[in-house]
Amino acid sequence: MPTENPSRGTVTRLVEAATAAPSLHNAQPWRFRYAADGGVLELRAAMDRCLPHSDPHGRALHMGCGAALLNLRAAAAEAGWRTAFRVLPDHYDPRLLAAVRLRRVPEDAPPGDPDGAAEAAALAELAAQIPRRHTNRRPYTAERVPDPVRALLRAAAEREGGQLLFASPWHATAVLRLAVDAEGRDFHDPGRLTELAQWTDVDERPTAATGDPGHRPAPVHDFAGRLAPTERMPGAGDGPPPQLALLSTVEDRPADWVRAGQALERALLVATAHGLSAAVSSGSLAWTELGWTVNDPLLPAGQVHAVLRLGYATETPASPPRLPLHQLLDLR
């Protein structure tokens, strides 16, 4: 079957979609390299944008790059390209997180699904949600996410090798307290506080919401959605605990972290398509003495990488600005 390599303009547009992915503190820890003669697009870790205090093992870096890889695949499918990729393809080059080959499928391709047409169509549908997806850390209403939508979110994570389990009310309360505690620890750890100030906007003024005379997380860091009572949405002050979902994989290796990032972003795009707001927390998992408590002993979860807060809320501003492409993409 004849194939062709994408043009530099096509690669640029695909990378632009990839970089709309979420990352811890919006660090954007990715770089892309494309050699036109080989037709392979490399996704590489940007070590100058790693977070040694907030992400000491590199889990969040790998997950952020995994989310970018999922966006790339979705944008490619929408543009009529099929993707074949390998995660961590070079044992001697750990910064190379994925190698992606793109190819066209002729319009006269045989019927059936020999080239993953159904998967390509599903990814293409998600591409429209890439510019719409953003984190919303405001309070949510008490309206429950319907079971059919929950099933779609679980299926989206499973398609990428992850598992998404909704926490029971008692467990959601415990995990939320853990997230609040972890955020408080961040603001008492000099290294993490420095990174947070470097990569996000931090409001140092005390507020009635926390009574904290020192640093307070700005909404970008407030997973729990803690705001002053006058800022809360109707129905958000009382009632059941927030709807939390735990994203996990069976194993806990760098390849699994990239896989978890793809599963996370696919679930977030599906959530966006169904009108849901979402916030993600992985900060509490970095505190090793606390991270194990996010597992619900009654649920068959593996290694939990992130906790999602899902629900309905008023719209918030779009995602933070992204780096210019000329700093992220090396075209050869």
pLDDT digits (tens, 9 = 90+) for 209-225: 333 333 333 333 556 55
Least confident of 29-43, 102-116, 298-312: 102-116
Backbone φ, ψ for residue 212 (5° rounding): -85, 120
Rounded Cα distance between 244 and 89, Å, is: 34
Rounded Cα distance between 93 and 242, Å, is: 41
Class of domain 147-311: alpha beta
The DSSP output letter for 113 is: S
- Does CATH place domain 8-131 in 3.20.20.70? no
What's the whole-number mean pLDDT along residues 314-319? 75
8 Å CB contact between 176 and 224: yes
Enumerate residues 6+ apart whose C-beta is below 8 A from 38.
Answer: none
How far, in Å, are 107, 162, 221, 280, 285 from residue 304 at the CA level?
42, 10, 20, 12, 8
> In the chain, what are the helix, strand and coil shares in percent, each to the nearest 5?
40, 20, 45
Highest mean pLDDT among 144-158, 239-253, 282-296: 144-158
Domain ranges across the chain:
8-131, 147-311
What pLDDT does 216 receive?
37
Least confident of 100-114, 195-209, 239-253: 195-209
- Full-model pTM: 0.84
112 band by pLDDT with thresholds 50, 70 and 90: low
8 Å CB contact between 18 and 72: yes
178 band by pLDDT with thresholds 50, 70 and 90: confident
What's the whole-number mean pLDDT along residues 54-74? 95
The residues facing 203 across adjacent strands are 216
Degrees, nearest 5: CA angle 82-8-109: 25
Average per-residue pLDDT for the chain: 81
Rounded Cα distance between 64 and 83, Å, is: 19
* Predicted confidence (pLDDT) at residue 70 exceeds the cutoff of 60: yes
Q: Give me the torsion for CA of 42, 153, 271, 247, rounded to 10°.
A: -60
Q: How many CA atoms lie within 13 A of 312 on its CB side?
A: 11
How far, in Å, are 69, 154, 156, 202 from residue 73 at the CA level?
6, 19, 14, 34
* Predicted confidence (pLDDT) at residue 206 exceeds the cutoff of 90: no
pLDDT in tens, 211-266: 333 333 333 355 655 544 444 444 444 556 789 999 999 898 999 999 999 999 99
155 band by pLDDT with thresholds 50, 70 and 90: very high
What pLDDT does 315 receive?
79
Q: Give me the torsion for CA of 102, 105, 111, 113, rounded to 10°.
A: 10
The DSSP output letter for 143 is: P
Are 8-131 and 147-311 the same fold in CATH?
yes
The proportion of the chain whose per-residue pLDDT surpasses 90, expressed as a percent, equals 51
Count Cβ neighbours within 10 Å for each residue of 229-247 and write b for 16 or more, e otherwise.
Answer: eeebbeebeeeebbbbbbb
